[in-house]
């Protein structure tokens, strides 16, 4: 699935998103508009066989004369001013304090354990232990560890485990006869009697590194998977990541601000039946994804998200309506400006999608979405680029942040 709106926070899309708002991506405009829906006839009607005409009137999908994907874009969209738009956004510069704050927050999740001279375990102590869990004399999966850190009284382990270590000595071997709770998530262990063999290695205390005290040794021990060997590596890497994130957010905010302006100047009328068709297409794929990827029915999903079917359906309708409106705007601009597919740019575009969204190949992308869909996405993306290139955009650190709706790109028509 290609991602939906960059900063959409609705519960509706939590299961679907393969990427988050910070992933660098070029595919934006039309894919924002339709999110998870794979359309038989592309987006906004099938691509005209005479590509030079670059129309979006479409042909009947699946042979149906009443298919809502057939429409005249000129009847749907009355374009106002879309060139020379003026917007002001905040600054996206990464400052030294941003890097410091990010590193401080990261280090807060990586305690440094220091040995103590305590010899008897008490409530609140952090123990370093080895343990092995046995059921009927056989070690069970997930029940064995070495050098595990356990805070006594944290209730991290099943009932009786932590209490069973209180009063024991460093170096002592302890056997704990325990019973897993009946509602334990692992059904093979739920309600079962087990024995934990525990060795208390030592009692330690937590110390946390700060931006000013973190050492090369600590970085190499904890962040090598991120490519950091030294403190300088970490500072440089964090800055680069924040800059990349900010650049992506800048692009997203700029596009959303442009949509806001376009809606102020243009009028969009949705073709009869198209909204309902898109909603049905979305729901068909959404429920299919739930079943195939998570083995969940829609009712189970709604229960897990603590929402009602009525609220869910309203979120879907609002999201698709806003997205479809944006899509039609871009289609109309593309037609007005004779924006077409250029071979070199389109080839690069597909390569970026495959890379940024981890498709196995271009063929895999086309198999999922079809040539018409991706070509239309490219044209709409170029239409948004055109609007931005012909706009006056000011970035001012004193500018107000985008509203929640603007940030999500859900501007009401």
- Taking Cα atoms as reference points, which of 22, 43, 72 lies closest to residue 249? 22
Q: What is the pLDDT of residues 354-375, one digit of tens each?
A: 988 888 999 998 988 888 888 9
Dist. CA 396–CA 259, nearest whole Å: 19
| CATH number belonging to the domain at 112-207, selected among 3.40.50.410, 1.10.3720.10, 3.10.50.40, 3.30.565.10 | 3.10.50.40
User: Locate tokens 């490219």: which residue?
Assistant: 378
How is the chain split into domains, by residue range? 11-95+236-408, 112-207
pLDDT at 1: 29
pLDDT at position 88 is: 95
Confidence label for 399 from pLDDT (cuts 50, 70 and 90): low
User: Biggest alpha carbon distance in the chain?
Assistant: 83
Q: How confident is the model at residue 185 (pLDDT cuts 50, 70, 90)?
A: confident
Instruction: State pLDDT tens for residues 127-147.
Output: 999 999 999 999 999 999 999
State how far Cα 158 lies from the chain centre: 33
User: Is the pLDDT score of 246 beyond 80?
Assistant: yes
Residue-wise pLDDT tens digits, 205-219? 999 999 999 999 999
Domain 11-95+236-408 CATH class label: mainly alpha
Beta bridge partners of 134: 139, 195
CA atoms of 343 and 370, how far apart (whole Å): 17
The pLDDT of residue 400 is: 56
């Amino acid at each position: 699935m290609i991602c939906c709106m960059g900063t959409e926070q609705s519960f509706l899309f939590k299961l679907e998103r393969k990427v988050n708002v910070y992933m660098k991506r070029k595919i934006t405009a039309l894919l924002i508009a339709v999110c998870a829906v794979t359309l038989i006839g592309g987006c906004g009607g099938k691509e005209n066989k005479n590509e030079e005409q670059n129309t979006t009137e479409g042909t009947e999908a699946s042979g149906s004369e009443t298919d809502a994907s057939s429409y005249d874009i000129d009847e749907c969209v009355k374009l106002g001013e879309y060139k020379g738009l003026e917007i002001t956004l905040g600054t996206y510069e990464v400052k030294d304090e941003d890097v410091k704050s990010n590193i401080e927050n990261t280090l807060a999740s990586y305690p440094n354990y220091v040995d103590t001279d305590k010899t008897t375990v008490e409530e609140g102590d952090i123990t370093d232990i080895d343990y092995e869990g046995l059921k009927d004399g056989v070690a069970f999966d997930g029940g064995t560890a070495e050098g595990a850190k356990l805070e006594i009284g944290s209730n991290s382990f099943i009932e009786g485990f932590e209490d069973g270590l209180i009063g024991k000595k460093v170096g002592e071997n302890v056997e704990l006869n325990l019973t897993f709770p009946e509602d334990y998530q692992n059904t093979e262990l739920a309600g079962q009697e087990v024995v934990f063999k525990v060795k208390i290695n030592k009692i330690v205390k937590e110390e946390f590194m700060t931006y000013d005290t973190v050492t090369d040794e600590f970085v190499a021990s904890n962040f090598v998977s991120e490519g950091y060997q030294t403190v300088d590596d970490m500072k440089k890497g964090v800055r680069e990541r924040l800059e990349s994130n900010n650049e992506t957010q800048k692009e997203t905010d700029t596009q959303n601000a442009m949509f806001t302006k376009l809606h102020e100047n243009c009028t969009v009328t949705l073709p009869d039946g198209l909204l309902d068709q898109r909603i049905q297409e979305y729901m068909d794929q959404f429920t299919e994804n739930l079943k195939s990827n998570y083995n969940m029915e829609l009712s189970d999903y709604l229960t897990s998200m603590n929402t009602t079917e009525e609220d869910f359906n309203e979120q879907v309708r609002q999201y698709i309506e806003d997205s479809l409106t944006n899509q039609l705007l871009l289609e109309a601009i593309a037609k007005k400006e004779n924006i077409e597919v250029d071979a070199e740019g389109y080839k690069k575009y597909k390569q970026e999608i495959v890379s940024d969204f981890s498709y196995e190949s271009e063929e895999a992308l086309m198999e999922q979405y079809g040539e018409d869909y991706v070509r239309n996405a490219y044209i709409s993306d170029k239409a948004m680029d055109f609007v931005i290139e012909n706009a006056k955009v000011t970035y001012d650190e004193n500018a107000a942040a985008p509203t929640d709706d603007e940030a999500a790109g859900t501007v009401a028509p």
